[in-house]
Structure 1
Amino acid sequence: MLSNGNHDSIYNKMSCTHTNADSTSWWRVNLKDTYEISTVIITNRADCCHERLQGAEIRIGDSTDVSKNDICGTITSTAPGSVHTICCNGLKGRYVNVVLPGKSQYLTLCEVEVFGVPTPECKRKPNEVNVALQGTAEQSSLYHDAGIASHAIDGNHDSIYNKMSCTHTNADSTSWWRVNLKDTYEISTVTITNRADCCHERLQGAEIRIGDSPDVSKNDM
């Protein structure tokens, strides 16, 4: 019942959340798009237990794993019904998380307000072309001949693996795929089509890196 516009901080008034005493208790809101977040305002419980919110981290990012998102701020002191304004200075993300890390504690929030603006939409210029089509592709390993690296730049958007238009590595310690564009380009947009028949979650957390190094870890995200 967060983000419902009701700032009542009495738990029995049905406007607060309450987790179990999890080893890491957390709450998050999916904004359904990426925003530049300026401010997060949190209203604490007033009738009891205000100290439970102490040490809570506000994390913002695009990962559903709350621990992998960036910390915007931490609540360092509390009082009954205290209102905490956290400045996030344009930190970008789809998920806003409130996390009590590393301790068994209930998490109760009586209102969370998130202020921000949508990130500018990525748009291609009229004269831009898909330069990947003329490149050569490689990947960290090959799971099966049906998943060769060049399938990702064949112009075929079919997302069913058995249709022979997807790539597939082994479960490498760091799996990667890359395309050599054969020249240096200013890249405006990268569009990736995920697998549709199964396993879509495997792509979660993938980083898109661009640069001149054949070592994928040394290129910029």
Structure 2
Amino acid sequence: MANGQEENAALWGETSQSSDYTDWFSTLAIDGLLNTWSHTDTETDPWWRVDLLKVYRVNRVTITNRNGFAYRINGAVIRIGNFLDVYSNTICAVISTLAADATATFSCNGMVGRYVVVHIPGDEKILTLAEVGVYGYLAGNRAVGGAVIQSSTFTGWFAEKAIDSNRGFQQLYTGCSSTLSETNPWWRLDLRDVYRVSEVVITNRNDSYAEQINGAEIRIGNTLENNGNYNPICAVIPAIPAGESYSYSCNGMEGRYVIVHIPGDWKTLTLCEVEVYGYLAGDSLL
């Protein structure tokens, strides 16, 4: 991974569970509070699921147990995959025991899936989860592992932070890249090979300076002349609301470099995440 800390992808997912015990809903497992938790009824094979909305390579899952009845988590299974049927997904880990209020991390080694499921097999079981974290990166994102540089760096806001799988929702001031205020600021990604780029996704900063992205150009190509700003334009960004991710179709434009820059004086370029999707120029499939 690039510099920076992965963000909890579960936070922008959609949760559900096999049943709700009164008002102890599935969303309470991702609310950031340790004194609330999701809770099913007593049933056979209770489960909790988060739909990450896109396919991820999951590096690790964290589970925080409730502060009482800790034994109820014993034997829980963590599964990752692309199926709504619980048992069709692949096992990442089994939780033998976990102390009350404790958090454990389970390595999933880049398992691929849209869904992360926690379930307890057996009869007369209850599943409660204080917090669930899911950490990884979008599968197929070619920006991960690339080399990045920018025209200047505002203190601590390094170019690498735009490809660290942290969209900046929780950690704006540590999770985004930013240049100084300058003329024609730019950020450049070297994909290390020539790709046909189908899509670029840009996540904007989540504060009152969202308009700083207005007018930014996305360019793709193979030249470093003029810092890469002579490459063909994929898209011009009129605006992106604070904290939002917008997708721009590049229709297979070919290039090794992806450049984002803002023409003009007294401009600041901040990028909380840049994702690049496509395939090697010599390949025929995504």
Alignment match of 1:38 (pick from 59, 70, 87): 59
Distance 2:98 2:90 in 1: 22
Which whole-Å deviations, capped at 9, do the CAs of 1:60-118 have from their partners, x for residues lacking one?
00001111100000101221112121100000100000010123211000000110100
Distance 1:109 1:57 in 2: 12
Query: Could you state the TM-score of these two structures normalised by the residue count of structure 1?
Result: 0.52
SS in 2 for 1:2: helix
Distance 1:34 1:22 in 2: 30
The AA in structure 2 aligned to 1:86 is: F
1:3, CA displacement in angstroms?
1.6
SS in 1 for 2:87: helix
SS in 1 for 2:91: strand
Residue 18 in structure 1 maps to residue 24 in structure 2: no
Distance 1:4 1:33 in 2: 20
SS in 1 for 2:78: strand
1:187, CA displacement in angstroms?
5.7
Match of 2:29? 2
The AA in structure 2 aligned to 1:88 is: C
Which whole-Å deviations, capped at 9, do the CAs of 1:103-138 have from their partners, x for residues lacking one?
32110000001101001159x959xxxxxxxxxxxx
SS in 1 for 2:37: coil
Residue 90 in structure 1 maps to residue 104 in structure 2: no
Alignment match of 1:75 (pick from 81, 91, 95): 95
Larger Rg, first or second structure (1 or 2): 1
CA RMSD of aligned residues (A): 1.9
The AA in structure 1 aligned to 2:83 is: S
Residue 51 in structure 1 maps to residue 148 in structure 2: no
The AA in structure 1 aligned to 2:113 is: G
Distance 1:115 1:125 in 2: 28
Which whole-Å deviations, capped at 9, do the CAs of 1:14-57 have from their partners, x for residues lacking one?
x20000111000000000000000110010011x2100101000
Which whole-Å deviations, capped at 9, do the CAs of 1:147-171 have from their partners, x for residues lacking one?
xxxxxxxxxxxxxxxxxxxxxxxxx
Does structure 2 retain, via aligned residues, the 8 Å contact 1:25–1:104?
no
Match of 2:10? none
Distance 1:39 1:121 in 2: 18
The AA in structure 1 aligned to 2:30 is: S
Distance 1:114 1:42 in 2: 9
Which whole-Å deviations, capped at 9, do the CAs of 1:157-216 have from their partners, x for residues lacking one?
xxxxxxxxxxxxxxxxxxxxxxxxxxxxx7624xxxxxxxxxxxxxxxxxxxxxxxxxxx
Alignment match of 1:111 (pick from 113, 131, 148): 131
Does structure 2 retain, via aligned residues, the 8 Å contact 1:61–1:93?
yes
Query: Could you state the TM-score of these two structures normalised by the residue count of structure 2?
Result: 0.40
Percent of residue pairs bearing the same amino acid type: 38
Distance 2:115 2:57 in 1: 11
Alignment match of 2:120 (pick from 95, 100, 112): 100
The AA in structure 1 aligned to 2:285 is: S
Unpaired segments of 5 or more residues in structure 1? 127-185, 190-221
User: Which runs of structure 1 show a deviation greater than 6 angstroms over 4 or more consecutive aligned residues?
Assistant: none
The AA in structure 2 aligned to 1:188 is: L
Distance 2:125 2:88 in 1: 20
Unpaired segments of 5 or more residues in structure 2? 1-27, 143-194, 198-282
